[in-house]
Amino acid sequence: MFFLVSDKILVVKKFIMICLIAVGIGSLPADAQKMTQKDLEEVFTLMSGSFTNQMQAKSDTSFFDIRLHAKQMWQDKQGEYWLYIELAMAGRPLAPYKQRVYSFNLEGDSVVACHVYGIKPDVAAKYANDWKKPEPLAGATIKELETKDGCTIYFHRIGLSIYDGSTRGSGCANSMKGSAYATSITHLDKVSMKTWDRGFDASGKQVWGTVKGGYDFKKDNAGR
């Protein structure tokens, strides 16, 4: 499956546990590694940059060819960590189909929380392609964002510069294609970001998102 990026059994087992947590099964690993400010900064750095799943899309046509860009915003907010996220189809790079804002903080001593915000529909278009700017969303205010309650992604360190994260339970409300809630699983390492977003109806049946695994994004230094 898409998250098998290491031959270490420990890594695989811990990521499987994260997957179970995402759908409301199981609990946090009892041996979760202690997280510090350094981990907060590393999660932020690993998620920053340009990514592509071109290789995956070529080998498996069930995956769209997508470009993902994540760039630091609101750099003047000292001690805060904000990312602007854009996703666009490879064939339409200037027309993002998703725009998000993430903020990061430490929660307790074993979790880095990634809080998710949407951009209000009436202003989203003016920020399209802002990832290309030195300071994306420079003129935006917090009032232009919509908090995605229940959609926070909680990251745990499972190895050297390797982090797995997920939403918790069924609290991330979603109505796309008849769904009641969504879940998100994310894996971060130095060369890739793997994401698996799915929607479920009230009975727990999956109604959207890939079935066999998530999107496998590789760092794209060209930033295309």
3-state secondary structure of 33: coil
Instruction: Give the pLDDT of residue 221.
Output: 78
Q: Tell me: pLDDT of 117 over 80.
A: yes
Does the residue 30 lie in any domain? Answer: yes
Q: Which residues contact 138 (CB under 8 A, 6 or more apart)?
A: 73
Predicted confidence (pLDDT) at residue 213 exceeds the cutoff of 80: yes
How many domains, the chain?
1
Mean pLDDT of 85-106: 97
> What's the domain range around 163?
9-219
- For residue 3, tell me if it sits in a domain: no
Could you tell me if 170 and 200 are in contact, meaning their C-beta atoms sit under 8 angstroms apart? yes
Which residue blocks in the chain are alpha helix, DSSP H?
9-22, 37-47, 54-59, 121-124
Q: What are φ and ψ of residue 10, in 5° steps?
A: -60, -45
User: Nearest CA to 216 among 193, 189, 186?
Assistant: 193
pTM: 0.85
Query: Is residue 224 in some structural domain?
Result: no
pLDDT band at residue 224, thresholds of 50, 70 and 90?
low
At 171, the pLDDT band (50, 70, 90 cuts) reads very high
Average pLDDT over residues 66-86: 96
Percent of the chain with pLDDT over 90: 81
| CA distances to 84, 125, 150 from 174, in Å | 21, 22, 10
| Domain of residue 169, CATH code | 2.40.128.590
Any domain includes 67: yes
Model confidence at 22: pLDDT above 60: no
Instruction: Examine the pLDDT at 188 and tell me if it is beyond 80.
Output: yes
pLDDT of 8 strictly over 90: no
Q: Token match 């030195």: residue?
A: 134
For 193-206, how does the pLDDT look when each residue is reduced to its tens digit (9 = 90+)?
999 999 999 999 99
- Contacts by 168-175, CB closer than 8 A, 24 or more apart: 168/21, 168/22, 168/24, 169/24, 170/24, 170/200, 172/148, 173/149, 174/199
Residue 147 has pLDDT above 80, yes or no: yes
Tokens of 218: 């590789």
Q: Is 129 exposed, middle or buried (0-12, 13-18, 19+ CB in 10 A)?
A: middle
pLDDT at 1 over 90: no
Among residues of the chain, what percentage have pLDDT more than 70?
84
